[in-house]
Structure 1
Amino acid sequence: MNRRALLLPGPAALLALYFGVKLGVSPLKHYDLFFHLAGGRYVLEHGFNRVDPFSVTGTAGWVPHEWGFGVLAVMLIKVLGAAGPALLTGALVAANLLLLWAAFGRAAPRRGLLALGVLGLVLIVQAYTWSQERPFHVGHLLFALTVLGSLAWRGGNDRVLWLAPLLGVAWANLHGSWLLGPVFLGATALGHALDSPEQRPRALRAIGASFAMFLAAAVSPSGPSIWLYPIHHSVLRSTQNINEWVPLDLAMGWSWAYLLLLGVAIFCVGQAPVRRIAILLPAVGLGLAALKVQRHAPFASVLVALALLEHAASVRGLVWPELIRRPVRALDDAFARWSTGAQGAIWPALALMLLAGVSWQRPVPVEQGVMRSRFPLACFEALRKLPPGKVLNRFIIGGAISYFAGTNYKVFIDSRNDPFPQPIHDDYTRLVWSEPGWEESLARYDPDYLLWDLENPGNILLDQLQLRGGWREEARDGNYVLWVRNRSSSR
């Protein structure tokens, strides 16, 4: 590849530049980021601990399976301030986009308008996660890397299989989607053996690599128990109430992009004279799983897109009028030449490095870099000045309390979800809606502080406690209020 191609930005490089910079300069806004930061800080200061350090209700045990992301984000904050997690998100999204484009180039060497349209649909499906500073993006990136490696293996490169265990170790310590890696690699190898029976020895070696990738996940704080963790977490009743774990929601605009991608892929595969099981087997499995659990859709869209591109080349196009066909063909040829002769991945990398350099010179504290309307920083500050105690809080801000106030203030619940046994989730629901038994739930936890929202349904519990008395307001910030229990009058 010549120097001009490296410097000239291609379509994927331009998209990576735009989205990487946009996300890199965004304020921190997702609630889950802060329980990752709290966990990462705790690991750096105290090491790993099976006992939940952030609550007294998390009796199911702390499982810091995504500890690597939290530690990385904390270290970036120390160097870059609040921009650290934002730039990390931007870099992960940009890198994932470039890897997807490279994978599409292996599936369909002629990357014309169809490849661009498919990439656009995949990005629409994944874009709803971009505003979330979460390890989800690491999962996307490592999945794309696994897909690219599997395509290289199908093309005859057996050396990439040696990377599978290393990828398994990294993935298991960064994001809970790690199981998709060995399952995808194993399904691809099985499908390849069915496509090309003469290559079954190679397929067996790839299946062995997928098994090694699975076993390597145990090189983590959870040890061998991590092998069953994804299944255990997915069957928890509390998990079923989390938005991303419900079936595909047609009220979400991105879900229609996924269904469109799925529909076009079914058409192309159905019309193709030869079908490649190596991509269809994992694509069908994960594609159907995404209909049941929409969290899988960003991953499934990648496999569906590859199945579409691999089979589209052999499908006879629809008969269009010459008036339309000629300009579309000319545009497609021009775009394909641009895609072939331009890479330009250096530009998003340089832009993100420039932003990192500016943040390194002038780091902004996390308190100044968050989306102020979402986080009651004045309440956190007031809580830090009070004696240590137990905090009754809303689900979404539990992690923020642990990060901004510290581990001396034990939250009732947070969005880590799995440390809290089902009775705690049930108690939380009773408290939010003042359902029968809420007084007993309150008495069992016996909180010292209340950090709650004012709007419906938060006002329901506040109204009930106001009638009972025994609390005083300490601070108010936006939609949240901090109350302190008057122990002398409540006992």
Structure 2
Amino acid sequence: SAGRRFPERAERGRPHRRWRRVAAKPKSSSRGLSRRGGSLPVTLFLLILSLAASAVHFLARPHVVSWLLTVIWFDLLDSAAHKSGVKRDNRLYWLPGIMVLWVNLHGGFVLGFGLLAVYLIGGGIEYYARREERAERKEWLRHLGGVAGLSFAASFLNPYGYQLHLHVYRYLSDRFLIDRISEFLSPDFHGAAQQCFAVLILITIVALASARRMPSPTRLLVVLFAAYGGFYATRNLPTSSLLITLVIAPVISDTLVEAGRNTNVTSWLRGLFSRAHSFSERVGKLELKLQGHLWLVLVFVLGLWACAHQGRIGSTQFINAYFDAKRFPVEAAEVIAQRGIREPVFSLDYWGGYLIYRLYPQTKVVVDDRHDFYGDQFIKDYLRVVLAQPGWNEVLEKLHVEWALVPAESPLATLLRLTPGWESSYEDQTAVLFHRRSAA
């Protein structure tokens, strides 16, 4: 299908910056889980699983910062929602400030409003379900509603004002693009990252089924919201995995503590659960003494070690500062740079990002993977070319394309070889660079 022609965006340059941002998430997540009662073994296991699921989208773009802001946003919301007493949690007033930062960094700011809606709905359910707490719930809903309004107003503090909201809405409601861009399609569970998410969902089901104390309605809604988002689109797997982990880790930890005290459980299992709980408490006390910096220091040391050993920890390659020449036109880009080609180059959308990174400003591209900037008609024309459909050459003429860089084994490469007026200027196992001959 045409959707398969929109591969995962794969710009992986500047890995050290990306890993510093990724490294911040385990620290924020683990501290939040510790406060909610998540034991260390359970927390580590689920965080590793969620980060493995996030690997489907480990790319050097601002959305990695969006993951961190999602964790912080959830932590502030959830802590305030489950605070005992009627006293307001003034930390919620950080949310409008975070929204100003978020809306200027990445379109994922809409997730913040999704979580606000979840907590408003959850608060409404708890208001009607718990009559003895109605006064407290009413005050919470009023407080949260005010903060939500301030956050919404804060989202307009960007260079484009309301036009940004219109752009995001039009993009996300454009069925032609959404149904064809692979990261917006439902996950393909043949991949390792997607399978990690499936395992996380199965663990969640078992954890909720065996829990002696069910999470609050609001937290259950967060799990449903995250699970739906993960199943709906591949790009949601990272944030969905992190949100599910933040809710489920304390539930599993409580269940294991109860199992360690249950005489009906086999003695060796009780001993295992008890030792794990004791170890978790000791490490938790140590982390508090270190003011929560233990995980950041650990990740920093591992990252520093990997950088000093060409990205390897032991025999495993964790960081790679180079582009895979089998997936990207690395050698062809070098040829373009050496020949000083100035005309825009037509290529695959996800190669376009690499070519911009490698060749800008000397050489520009006809298209890259920022599909929302091009519009439906342009993307339809692009697909006609890359799928080698009738009229492909007319599209290239309309766009005044003089250079085309295409995969070596693609149907388009075959057609360009057979079409008068086009000649191969460079070729390797990954890509072929074609040039349109001038008319005699």
Shorter-chain-normalised TM-score: which range? 0.7 to 0.9
Mapped contact 1:392–1:450 kept (Cα < 8 A):
yes
- Cα displacement string for residues 96-118 of structure 1 (whole angstroms, at most 9, x for unaligned residues): 1110101111222x514333333
**Residue from 404, 411, 414 that aligns with 1:463:** 414
Note the 1:66-465 alignment, pairs <5 A: 85-108=14-37, 111-130=39-58, 132-154=59-81, 155=83, 158-192=89-123, 194-195=125-126, 196-199=133-136, 200-236=138-174, 237-270=176-209, 271-312=211-252, 315=255, 317=259, 319-342=264-287, 343=292, 344-345=294-295, 347-348=297-298, 351=301, 369-371=321-323, 373=325, 374-384=327-337, 385-386=339-340, 388-406=342-360, 409-455=363-409, 457=410, 460-465=411-416
**In structure 2, what is the Cα distance between the partners aligned to 1:465 and 1:313?**
60
Corresponding residue of 1:68: none
RMSD: 3.1
Q: Distance between the aligned counterparts of 2:307 and 2:340, measured in 1?
A: 38
Q: Counterpart in 1 of 2:434? A: 483
> Residue 178 of structure 1: CA displacement?
0.8
CA contact (8 A) 2:332 2:426 kept: yes
CA distance in 1, matches of 2:140, 2:54: 33
For the structure 1 residues 356 and 159, does the alpha-carbon distance in structure 2 shift closer, same or farther, using more than 3 Å as the test?
Answer: farther
Shift in Å, 1:92 = 0.8
Aligned mates of 2:306, 2:265 — CA distance in 1: 49
CA distance 1:32–1:112, change in 2 (3 Å): closer
Question: Structure 1 residues 173, 333: CA separation in 2 closer, same or farther (over 3 Å shift)?
Answer: same
Gap change, CA 1:136 and 1:474, over 3 Å in 2: same
| Change in 2 beyond 3 A, CA 1:232/1:106 | farther
Write the distance in 2 (CA, Å) between the matches of 1:182 and 1:331: 38
Displacement of 1:415 after TM fit?
Answer: 0.8
SS of structure 2 residue aligned to 1:249: coil
CA distance 1:476–1:345, change in 2 (3 Å): same
TM-aligned CA deviation for residue 168 of structure 1: 0.8
Q: Aligned partners of 2:48 and 2:341: how far apart in 1?
A: 52
Letter aligned with residue 330 of structure 1: R
Secondary structure at 1:451's aligned position in 2?
strand
Q: Secondary structure at the match of 1:238?
A: helix
Q: CA deviation at 1:215?
A: 2.8
Higher relative contact order (CA 8 A, sep 6+): 1
CA-CA distance at 1:293 after TM superposition: 1.5
Q: Check 1:189–1:160 CA distance in 2 against 1; reply closer, same or farther (3 A cut).
A: farther
After TM superposition, give the deviation of residue 174 of structure 1 in Å: 1.4
Give the drift of 1:179: 0.8
Q: Which amino acid in 1 is paired with 2:113?
A: P
- Change in 2 beyond 3 A, CA 1:371/1:333: same
Secondary structure in 1 aligned to 2:390? coil
Over 3 Å counting, the alpha-carbon distance change for 1:224 and 1:255 in structure 2 is: same
Q: Partner letter of residue 482 of structure 1?
A: L
Cα distance in 1 between the residues matched to 2:348 and 2:402: 15
- 1 CA distance for matches of 2:155 and 2:302? 31
Which residues of structure 1 form unaligned runs of 5+?
1-29, 35-81, 359-367
Q: Equivalent residue of 1:446, what SS?
A: coil
Please give the TM-score of this superposition, normalised by the length of structure 2. 0.79
* 3-state SS of paired residue (1:452): strand
The amino acid that maps onto 1:222 is Y
Partner amino acid, structure 2, of 1:324: L
Aligned residues of 2:53 and 2:237 also touching (Cα < 8 A): yes
The change in CA–CA distance for 1:334 and 1:163 in structure 2 (over 3 A counts) is same
The question of whether the paired residues in 2 share the 8 Å contact of 1:187 and 1:282 is answered with yes
Q: How does 1:6-17 map to 2 (within 5 A)?
A: none
Contact 1:378 / 1:476 at 8 angstroms: preserved in 2?
no
Alpha carbons of 1:115 and 1:182: their partners in 2 closer, same or farther (altered >3 Å)?
same
Mapped partners of 2:360, 2:112: distance in 1: 35
Compute the TM-score of the two structures, normalised by the length of structure 1: 0.72
From the superposition, tell whether residues 475 and 436 of structure 1 become closer, same or farther in structure 2 (CA, over 3 Å). closer
Q: 1:427 touches 1:441 (CA, 8 Å); kept in 2? A: yes
Distance of aligned partners of 1:432 and 1:328 in 2 relative to their CA distance in 1, 3 Å threshold: same
Instruction: Check 1:299–1:416 CA distance in 2 against 1; reply closer, same or farther (3 A cut).
Output: same
Q: CA deviation at 1:466?
A: 2.2
Q: CA deviation at 1:135?
A: 1.8
Distance 1:369 1:283, change over 3 A: closer
Contact kept, 8 Å, 1:453 with 1:481, in 2: the verdict is yes
Gaps of 5+ in 2: 1-7, 127-132, 309-319
Amino acid at match of 1:114: V
8 Å Cα contact 2:229-2:236 kept in structure 1: yes
CA contact (8 A) 1:32 1:415 kept: no
Correspondence for 2:5: none
CA–CA distance in structure 2, aligned partners of residues 167 and 337 of structure 1: 33
Shift, 1:307, TM fit: 3.0
- More displaced 10-residue stretch of structure 1: 474-483 or 213-222: 474-483
